[in-house]
Each structure stands twice: as structure tokens, then as C-alpha cells.
Amino acid sequence: MGFVDRAEELRFLEERAASGKAELVVVYGRRRVGKTELLRRFCSGRPHLFFVAARTTSEQLLRDFARALAELPESLLPPGAVPENWPAAFELLGTLARGRRFVVVLDEFPYLLEADPSVASSLQNLWDGALRKTQLMLVLCGSSVSVMESQVLGQQSPLYGRRTAQWHVRPLSYRDAAEFFPRYSAEDRLKAYGILGGMPAYLEQFDPGRPLADNVWSGFSAAVPCSTRRRISFSRQSCGRPPGTTPPWQP
């Protein structure tokens, strides 16, 4: 399946990129809704650094971040070198965005905060100093809506008042979700949407080359949450069992 729609989200990001000033953009939304895919699409073809934080220690994250910096064509950091701390690492971002738009995505930002809560005040200090005078577009992205709302957007966050824009990524609309099943009848597309909703990660569980009933009766990945599994199981009755399928099947 290719990339579906997200035209409104991409337009929003492109407008921020064209603002001519430093941008601190917060992108959030529930797990598997398509945040990373959207941001990768936006970054493609632009000078950028895309960093996905893992759930690990601050030291390990700093090493991973240094590796990502060293891989940039600008070679700001010699391979193997690691900045002393997060402020030193973030300071390098300003150098990348001097005189030209440069996008930095910190994906899974809540993991960075979890590993080192002082990252938020380090960023705030640098933002208030050097970074806001550059052409940096810094995108902080996270799946934990509560962490993003309280620790990044909220009043108690050191970053409060610094963001220049925010976007809550929502599940795909029916029309966009239907693009996952271009050969289905309108009725089957509607049924597929009723079962799977607008979450791209679940929509891609069904094989668009197979009839709806086949998809409904075949196994599906453990990544699909219980509520969606239940809907798939319920819909088995209404879809009818395709020839050749025999119970028992996994609910």
C-alpha cells in the first residue's frame, strides 16, 4: 500500500516550513495512527535529521543521536564522537539551520523526556537563546497524548509557550481509508471501515487483493488491538464463511 492522503497534515507542515522563521512544532496522536509515516513523507527531499528515540538510557540515546548527526552530509560530528550532554548536542542543530531551513524531527520525544527530564529545559534554554534566531524547524512528536499534552504543551512544561504550532494526528477518514481497498465494492469498503476504522496500521492488515470475507476469516496480526479483533470476529457471521475455510479460527 502506498502513502494515503494526509494532504491537510502535509499542507500544515509545509506552511510552517515556509514561514521563514524558527518553528517549534508539536505533532501527536495515538499509537499506530501514522505520525512517523507522515513526518517521513514531509522530510523526504528536504535537508533534515530524523531521530526516533528508543526507550533506553539517556547515555545510549545521546550516542544514537550522535550517530544520526555523524551520518548527515554536513558531517558536523566525526564518526564515533559523542557530545558531552544534551545541551551540547542540541546546540549543533542551530549550526545546521543557519541561513537555510533545516528540519529536525525528534520522534518518540516522551522516551527522551523519560530518560532525562532535563531535556525539556535544555531545549527551552537553547530555544530562547540561539535556536529561535535560526531557520530550524524542530518537530517534537509523540504517541503518549497525555505526556505530550502535559509535559510538552502544558503550563508546567519548560517548553510552554515556545511551540509555534501543533497538530493532533487523527485516524484516516472513510474516504481515505477506502483507498486501501480500491477494488472493493462501496458496500465492502464501508464494511471494512466499520470493522477496522481509520487506523492505517489496522487497515493494512487486510489484503486488498482478497475478498472481504477471506480477510475477515483469515488470521490477523497480534498488533491488532482486542476491540478491533472483536469487531472482526463479530463480522464473520455477516460476511459468511468463504469456501475452504474451516474452524477453529482465532478470535
Q: List all residues 6 or more positions away from 227 whose beta carbon is below 8 Å from its beta carbon.
A: none
**Which of Mg ion, ligand ATP, none interacts with 195 (beta carbon under 5 to 8 A by kind)?**
none
List phi, psi (to 5°) of 44.
-55, 125
Binding-site size, ligand ATP (CB under 6 A): 15
CB 180 within 8 A of CB 40: no
In the list Mg ion, ligand ATP, none, the entry touching 171 (Cβ below 5 to 8 angstroms by class) is: none
Q: How many helices (H) and strands (E) does the chain have?
A: 12, 5
Q: Which of 233, 229, 231 is nearest to 217 (CA)?
A: 233
Contact between 93 and 104 under an 8 Å Cβ cutoff? The reply is yes
Binding of residue 110 to ligand ATP (CB under 6 A) = no
34 binds, among Mg ion, ligand ATP, none (CB under 5 to 8 A by kind): ligand ATP
Distance, in Å, from the CA atom of 9 to the CA atom of 29, rounded to the nearest integer, reads: 12
Residue, CB closest to ligand ATP: 34
Q: How far is the CB of 51 from Mg ion (least distance, A)?
A: 12
Instruction: Considering only the stretches 2-10, 160-168, 207-215, 223-231, report the one whose residues sit in contact with ligand ATP under the rule CB under 6 A.
Output: 2-10
In the list Mg ion, ligand ATP, none, the entry touching 3 (Cβ below 5 to 8 angstroms by class) is ligand ATP
248 cis-preceded (ω within 30 degrees of 0): yes
Q: One symbol per residue from 4 to 23: x for binding ligand ATP (CB under 6 A), - otherwise; what is it? A: x-x-----------------
String of contacts with ligand ATP for each residue 136-175, x by CB under 6 A: -------x--------------------------------
Q: Is 36 in the site for Mg ion (CB under 5 A)?
A: yes
Query: Nearest Cα to 9, choosing from 32, 31, 30, 35?
Result: 35
Query: From Mg ion, ligand ATP, none, which one binds at residue 158 (CB under 5 to 8 Å depending on kind)?
Result: none
Rounded distance between C-alpha atoms, residue 11 and residue 17, angstroms: 10
The answer to whether 139 touches 2, Cβ cutoff 8 Å, is no
Nine cell digits for residue 162: 515556545
- For 169: left if phi > 0, alpha if psi spans -120 to 50, otherwise beta; the answer is beta
The residue (of 97 and 169) whose beta carbon lies closer to Mg ion is 169
Q: Which of ligand ATP, Mg ion, none lies near 32, with the C-beta cut-off 5 to 8 A by kind?
A: ligand ATP
Instruction: List residues near Mg ion by CB under 5 A.
Output: 36
Q: What residue ranges bind ligand ATP (CB under 6 A)?
A: 1, 3-4, 6, 31-37, 143, 200-201, 204
